[in-house]
Structure 1
Amino acid sequence: MLAVSSMPSAISSIDQEGAFSDQLSRAFLQQLAQEERRRFKAGHRANSHDFDAEPMLDEADAVEQIVVQDEINRPESAHVPVPADLAAVAVMLARAIEAEPGLVRRLRREAPVVALATHLIDLVEPVRVVAEKCLFRPNTKVIDLANGRARELSRRHAALFVCDGISRDARPEKGNEIIGAALHVRVPIVGIAPDPKRQLPRDLMRSAEHRIGLPSLDQTGLALVVEAVVGSRPLRQIDRDLLRMIDIADLPVAFRRATSPDACIEALERIVTAKADFLAEGPALEELDGYGPAKTWGLAVASDLQAYRAGCLTWAQIDHRGLLLSGPPGVGKTSFARALAKSARVPLVTTSVAEWNAADYLSGTLQAIRKVFAQAQAQAPCILFIDELDGISDRAQIRGEHVQYWTQIVNLFLELLAGVDERPGVVVVAATNHPGKIDPAVKRAGRLDREIAIGKPDTTALAQIFRHHLGREILPDASTLPLALAARGMTGADAEAFVRRAKGTARRNGRAVTLDDLLVEIRQGRRPLPAAVRHRVAIHEAGHAVVSRTLGHGTLMDLSLHDDGGQALLEFTDDGAVTLTVLEAGLASLLAGRIAEEIEFGAASIGAGFGPDSDLALATGIARDIELKWGLGHFGNISLDAAASEAIMVTGLLPAVVERLRRASERARSILMEHRPALQAVGRLLEEAGYVTRAEMDRVLAPGKTRAETEQVVPVARDEEVQ
């Protein structure tokens, strides 16, 4: 960076190194400092956003007279602080103008038309103040055309058109007559808005010779701001990750009590760190379990964003830019976004459709949407997380008087999503409980073109989630598997709540947390399976395992017992390539649990027939579809789309289904009798441990294992595996 004098002799744009010379920035800051000095001399005070003077206390106040006299007698060499937010805007505005060759001269000698994008609504008013004080020739009267005062214009004036984007008039169709009158007078015109293309008059944008935007503060720019506030430059720099997260409102708060340049930086670091999600406590994505493909996607994004920040990747090379996360409440969609930001070490900008709709009127909602995208762009690279996305309706489903209202909201959201090249570094992650309510255009290529459903965690993941919330200090040597089995079908949010309540119970009783505390919270009055029932259920699930493994039907993932029964988790491909052989193997696997009970206990229970997803219901459905739907049965090549109650009336169907299920049952019986030691060994293993992994079943059911070896199988310690 080139060294410059405090009073520039000439205004240059950018130095030979490609960095800003900051001559214009220093000139703007000096101009603001002179304004502050004049106010002190006049015995007035002003707030940080307004240079209009407020009268001091009554002259009869003797103490006030002392203070005023002290201000008047202050030596010219004494430093006069510039309000921190105005100083920051002055630096950003000066740099934006510096980047346009000759623009500063034109603003003071000619009549250029300039469109200035502030990106954020919070910057509109301070930009207006700095523009009035610094952009134009001395003694120039500045008129805001947005107030309809074009008739007052003369060649001695300059014109602003300031729009915060909130009012109903903030659109291209409004204000064009006023702009036309100003163009006729030939005065400098500067339009100021967060998004000029959408918010300033159309004719202003058509005639704009310069379209500029406020840049972000860098280290040298922040140092200039500190110097303007306290009188000298800091020796230390702020962390570059925090620098991108600074808001204009952070500066006055941080610098208010700072007594030195380095103290300003330290105070600013404390304030910004408090809102930096990626620096806060909490797990990174690598530490979380139960997210499946979403975790794989997120880790790829984190790696790419780190490479992007380091300059090793361009934005065009990053293929993961948008994700729609779906799933039931409590599966951790918001936690995923926080963990992703932490892994990528980038800011997390969070919002929700409910937050957008909380704004007054349609214009407020549209501005809220624009603001959050602008905020994300200002902090890029970052993660923009949008919750409750189903709150934005599918345009095809909108009816009645709200069609126009919601259509404008959806259209703006789609427009901002589609501008992926206009927001480099911003990865958008949206969450919904109802993906079917999302407008299909949202999922179009180039927007949220990847959709991943997060399901409820399986037993292993749930055990790991419990361990995460317990930490390594609570029950460090205990397995969390019993907790996961008791909480089967619940979510990570449920697990966190159970742990929190159990901790509260133990704290109120003045003791450490126990497994019983946790099980009481999880079960909420439910009782575990009685010993006899547990033994029967274990044999039932073992029957599924032995037959499916013997027939090679699908991939057996695990077996588990829980308070309501048991489960054999089987993964298999169900597509158009499935044959009758595969279907018959599936029937035998489904009926194997009931047959295993008959073999070991002499009679089957009714458990295989509970509900529409029971073993018998699924097997009967497959047998019926073989006959009527898939053209593989007694009736030949035919497909009838009949409800279950109607299908039973098809002549010959019931005997065909019964016979098919009978043959499947006998096939399962034959396999289980041949492998009865394996059936008993797997049942015993499941009964004792409550959970059997795929690896353990592979050891028990390995081909060539002798009867004695099978009968000697004992449960394998898995505490470390699930903690």
Structure 2
Amino acid sequence: MSLLLQTLEQSDFRQSDGVASDQLARAFLHQLAQDELKRLKVFQRAVGYEFGDDLSVAESDAVEQIVAQDETDRRATAHVPVPADLAAVAVMLARAVADENGLVRRLRREAPVVAIATNVSDLVEPVRIVAEKCLFRPEAKVVDLAVGRGRELNRRHAALYVCDGIGREARPDKGNEIVGSALHVRIPIVGIAPDPKRQLPRDLMRSAEHRIVLPELDHGGLALVIEAVVGRLPTRGLDPDLLRMIEIADLPVAFRRTNTPDACIVALERILVAKADFLGDGPTLDVLDGYGEAKIWGLAAAADLRAYRAGRLAWEQIDHRGLLLSGPPGVGKTSFAKALAKSARVPLVATSVAEWNASDYLSGTLQAIRKIFAQAKSQAPCILFIDELDGISDRSQIRGEYVQYWTQIVNLFLELLADVDERPGVVVVAATNHPQKIDPAVKRAGRLDREIKIEKPDTTALASIFRHHLGSEMLPDAPTLPLALAARGMTGADVEAFVRRAKGTARRDGREISVDDLLHEIRQGRRPLPMSVRRRVAIHEAGHALVAHVLEFGDVAGLSLYEDGGEARLEFGDDGESTLPQLEAALSSMLAGRIAEEIELGAGSVGSGNGPASDLALATQLARDIELRYGLGHLGNIHLEPTAGELITFPGLLPAMRDRLHRAGERARRIITDHRLVLQAIARQLDKNGYLSREEVETTLLGVIRNSAAEITEYQIDLVQVQ
């Protein structure tokens, strides 16, 4: 009697404490070892000698005689290794079957119907092999209903229905006729598929009395696999963080050159560490700049996941479960996901919609989506990062022959996304360059219900990004602010490219990298501002800052000089509660740059009116809106959406706008004239450094604060009187 039959007769595969034993798993492994032994005998007969025979394949070859004799001496005690992937699947399947009370007995004595979910298509074939060799009686003739004929079935058969979920036949309306024939003959039927509910015949699933999901390998299961491969149990374990990253395909690769149990562990560790970026060196989220609100969210999510791993926080208590990151290309959405995983000390499972759509068939795309969610679930807690999410169409925008195709994809994605409680520990972060193309259902509560836009980094953030890519040892004493100013409007990806190319240039020249190397890559032939133009721009931006500060129009967040101009960054609320005095203060602040040029240099430049985003353009638009949209002008309470023609057709509109802009300009002129020394101090510092932070601007502006309260109040009274 075989070991498996003895096990069947003697045990119900459960220990008294209710925990599934590994008695059935060992029986499965023994069965596979016996089958492997038979295979080796067949092979050896094919090459000229039998297993256990001491005859040489070629008696005339003396060397072969020595090798054959050595093999004969070792065969009596040699361990017959089981392929690592089959051994792992055998352990997983045996444990799943053992958890179903009496199932293995029924498979060998009765005619149950069983559905096995492998979650991923890669496991379908090894599960089929193990099921065929271990689940049924030895004399049973196993047929695959997916390729067989129903009329040939009889009571000596046992049936599999194997579907990898990729082909066109992977749907519930296929195969029902032959399943019906098998049900009529009353033979055991086992369906195997990644997602049985969607991929196996409908009638098989309706008849299924047992629905099994393969468990993950734990330390005990891995030890059994190693014992099946090399003959002995390991004396050491595997790091739990690495254990949950095991994929079945890793095992044959790791064990192919090992002959001791502990060597198997070491080899597997080496492979898994290469995949476990979160355990290695690299930046965590707290040291990265330029992410704004996304960084706040990420740090909170990382803290929650660490608490969840430690058992201090239940999954139901975690509110940071899904995030949609939007923003232009290159702002670091992928880098954010990597840094988040490192901060949380959990694996990053990364994919993209482009990868899902690489399949030739719809079923392949659906299987790719299921596979990545299953992988994330097996490695939980983890971060599941989905790039290019806008590649999944908005169902409301789909037309014609593609409606059914995309609807199935979107529906499956929404189902997996919404099934939060079935994937505990999996935080989903998706990225897109086009959030307006995302199906609204994706953003509903319980899915990706938080959307954060990552803007291009400002000057301060760019300086920090340069330092990050340069490291602490490269140009340690060189300020990165000039580099950031030269790279205005660039992204973190651009900075990485600049540093990489500059390193390459220095390496080819046989020297250390320099700031000039970096500036050369950033400028790409563009020249810096001439000194005279640079001074004018510094005066211009200082005028904006001075008038905005005096009239309390927002906060001056920073002043910058760039390769092609400058910027006064003002932060102010746009909540619909602005009053006319506040709008007039805004007008004066907008016009202050040109007024400062006139006072200091004798004339203003055309740069103030160059383009639709220029100072004059924005001021003119605001003056027009005061008259036509906000109901605060000479026309009274009226709202009209303005067009270009209305500037001509409305009687008195242009004069009213001109007068308003003139008054705002004169108010700015008076402020700048009275505080000219402060203007010059700000401009001088800006010209020298190229950048002034909020704190540096405020320090210089203390000269304004020292003016008497009466003088400042006079500006405010003047602001009201001119209305």
Deviations 1:121-179 (A, max 9, x none): 11100001111111122212111111133322222222111110011111111122222
Is 1:540 aligned with 2:540? yes
Change (3 A) 1:266 1:454: same
Do the aligned partners of 2:141 and 2:158 also contact (CA within 8 Å) in 1? yes
Distance (whole Å) between structure 2 residues aligned to residue 425 and residue 419 of structure 1: 12
Do the aligned partners of 1:558 and 1:568 also contact (CA within 8 Å) in 2? yes
Map residues 410-429 of structure 1 onto 2, 5 A cutoff.
Answer: 410-429=410-429
1:15 alignment counterpart: 15
Map residues 535-614 of structure 1 onto 2, 5 A cutoff.
Answer: 535-614=535-614
Percent of aligned positions with the same letter in both sequences? 73
2:499 alignment counterpart: 499
Distance (whole Å) between structure 2 residues aligned to residue 466 and residue 426 of structure 1: 32
Distance (whole Å) between structure 2 residues aligned to residue 428 and residue 705 of structure 1: 49
2:3 alignment counterpart: none
SS in 2 for 1:635: coil
2:197 alignment counterpart: 197
Distance (whole Å) between structure 1 residues aligned to residue 71 and residue 208 of structure 2: 44
Distance (whole Å) between structure 1 residues aligned to residue 686 and residue 146 of structure 2: 76
The one-letter code sitting in structure 1 at the alignment partner of 2:268 is: L
Deviations 1:400-434 (A, max 9, x none): 33233222222222222222222222222111111
Deviations 1:189-211 (A, max 9, x none): 11111011111111111121111
1:138 alignment counterpart: 138
Map residues 701-720 of structure 1 onto 2, 5 A cutoff.
Answer: 701-702=701-702
SS in 2 for 1:146: coil
Change (3 A) 1:402 1:57: farther
2:31 alignment counterpart: 31
Deviations 1:72-108 (A, max 9, x none): 8865553211111110001000111122222222222
Distance (whole Å) between structure 1 residues aligned to residue 610 and residue 472 of structure 2: 40
Distance (whole Å) between structure 1 residues aligned to residue 619 and residue 305 of structure 2: 49
Distance (whole Å) between structure 2 residues aligned to residue 257 and residue 437 of structure 1: 50
Do the aligned partners of 2:290 and 2:458 also contact (CA within 8 Å) in 1? yes
1:710 alignment counterpart: none
Report the more deviating stretch, 370-379 or 326-335. Answer: 370-379
1:691 alignment counterpart: 691
**Cα RMSD after superposing both structures:** 2.2
Distance (whole Å) between structure 2 residues aligned to residue 670 and residue 11 of structure 1: 98
Do the aligned partners of 2:324 and 2:429 also contact (CA within 8 Å) in 1? yes
2:623 alignment counterpart: 623
- Superposition deviation, residue 596 in structure 1: 1.2
2:513 alignment counterpart: 513
Do the aligned partners of 1:594 and 1:604 also contact (CA within 8 Å) in 2? yes
Is 1:490 aligned with 2:512? no
Distance (whole Å) between structure 2 residues aligned to residue 476 and residue 74 of structure 1: 63
Distance (whole Å) between structure 2 residues aligned to residue 70 and residue 146 of structure 1: 46
1:720 alignment counterpart: none
Change (3 A) 1:397 1:671: same
- Superposition deviation, residue 67 in structure 1: 7.3
- Superposition deviation, residue 36 in structure 1: 1.6
- Superposition deviation, residue 533 in structure 1: 1.3
SS in 2 for 1:274: helix
Distance (whole Å) between structure 2 residues aligned to residue 612 and residue 14 of structure 1: 77
1:714 alignment counterpart: none
Distance (whole Å) between structure 1 residues aligned to residue 68 and residue 113 of structure 2: 42
Do the aligned partners of 1:43 and 1:72 also contact (CA within 8 Å) in 2? no
Report the more deviating stretch, 457-466 or 207-216. Answer: 207-216
SS in 2 for 1:644: coil
Distance (whole Å) between structure 2 residues aligned to residue 201 and residue 418 of structure 1: 26
Map residues 90-489 of structure 1 onto 2, 5 A cutoff.
Answer: 90-489=90-489
TM-score by length of 2: 0.92
Distance (whole Å) between structure 2 residues aligned to residue 150 and residue 304 of structure 1: 54
The one-letter code sitting in structure 2 at the alignment partner of 1:525 is: G
Change (3 A) 1:195 1:620: same
Distance (whole Å) between structure 2 residues aligned to residue 13 and residue 684 of structure 1: 84
The one-letter code sitting in structure 2 at the alignment partner of 1:86 is: L
The one-letter code sitting in structure 1 at the alignment partner of 2:492 is: G
Distance (whole Å) between structure 1 residues aligned to residue 661 and residue 356 of structure 2: 56
Distance (whole Å) between structure 2 residues aligned to residue 75 and residue 608 of structure 1: 91
Do the aligned partners of 2:675 and 2:704 also contact (CA within 8 Å) in 1? no
- Superposition deviation, residue 704 in structure 1: 7.0
Do the aligned partners of 1:380 and 1:426 also contact (CA within 8 Å) in 2? yes
Do the aligned partners of 1:331 and 1:493 also contact (CA within 8 Å) in 2? yes
Distance (whole Å) between structure 1 residues aligned to residue 208 and residue 542 of structure 2: 77
Distance (whole Å) between structure 2 residues aligned to residue 337 and residue 190 of structure 1: 40
Change (3 A) 1:65 1:378: farther
SS in 2 for 1:648: helix
Distance (whole Å) between structure 2 residues aligned to residue 175 and residue 317 of structure 1: 44
- Superposition deviation, residue 467 in structure 1: 0.5
Do the aligned partners of 1:12 and 1:23 also contact (CA within 8 Å) in 2? no
Change (3 A) 1:627 1:704: closer
Do the aligned partners of 1:460 and 1:481 also contact (CA within 8 Å) in 2? yes
The one-letter code sitting in structure 2 at the alignment partner of 1:172 is: P
2:85 alignment counterpart: 85
The one-letter code sitting in structure 2 at the alignment partner of 1:124 is: V
Deviations 1:509-559 (A, max 9, x none): 111111111111111111111111111111111111111111111121001
- Superposition deviation, residue 13 in structure 1: 4.0
TM-score by length of 1: 0.92
Do the aligned partners of 2:327 and 2:434 also contact (CA within 8 Å) in 1? yes
- Superposition deviation, residue 648 in structure 1: 3.2
Change (3 A) 1:629 1:65: farther
Gaps of 5+ in 2: 1-5, 51-55, 708-723
Distance (whole Å) between structure 2 residues aligned to residue 412 and residue 221 of structure 1: 32
The one-letter code sitting in structure 2 at the alignment partner of 1:123 is: L
2:714 alignment counterpart: none
Change (3 A) 1:133 1:167: same
- Superposition deviation, residue 436 in structure 1: 1.4
SS in 1 for 2:428: strand
Report the more deviating stretch, 596-605 or 471-480. Answer: 596-605
Report the more deviating stretch, 87-96 or 348-357. Answer: 348-357
Distance (whole Å) between structure 2 residues aligned to residue 641 and residue 304 of structure 1: 48
Distance (whole Å) between structure 1 residues aligned to residue 453 and residue 524 of structure 2: 29
The one-letter code sitting in structure 2 at the alignment partner of 1:340 is: L
SS in 2 for 1:654: helix
- Superposition deviation, residue 56 in structure 1: 3.7
Do the aligned partners of 1:547 and 1:672 also contact (CA within 8 Å) in 2? yes
Do the aligned partners of 2:678 and 2:703 also contact (CA within 8 Å) in 1? no
The one-letter code sitting in structure 2 at the alignment partner of 1:263 is: A
Deviations 1:599-642 (A, max 9, x none): 21222111111111111111110000000011110001111112
Do the aligned partners of 1:145 and 1:178 also contact (CA within 8 Å) in 2? yes
SS in 1 for 2:146: helix
Do the aligned partners of 2:168 and 2:361 also contact (CA within 8 Å) in 1? no
Gaps of 5+ in 1: 1-5, 46-54, 708-723
Distance (whole Å) between structure 2 residues aligned to residue 704 and residue 569 of structure 1: 19
- Superposition deviation, residue 446 in structure 1: 1.7
Do the aligned partners of 2:559 and 2:567 also contact (CA within 8 Å) in 1? yes
Distance (whole Å) between structure 1 residues aligned to residue 176 and residue 605 of structure 2: 82
The one-letter code sitting in structure 1 at the alignment partner of 2:309 is: R
Distance (whole Å) between structure 2 residues aligned to residue 314 and residue 152 of structure 1: 54
Do the aligned partners of 1:8 and 1:27 also contact (CA within 8 Å) in 2? no
SS in 2 for 1:192: strand
Distance (whole Å) between structure 1 residues aligned to residue 27 and residue 258 of structure 2: 24
Do the aligned partners of 1:163 and 1:170 also contact (CA within 8 Å) in 2? yes
Do the aligned partners of 1:40 and 1:72 also contact (CA within 8 Å) in 2? no
- Superposition deviation, residue 264 in structure 1: 0.3
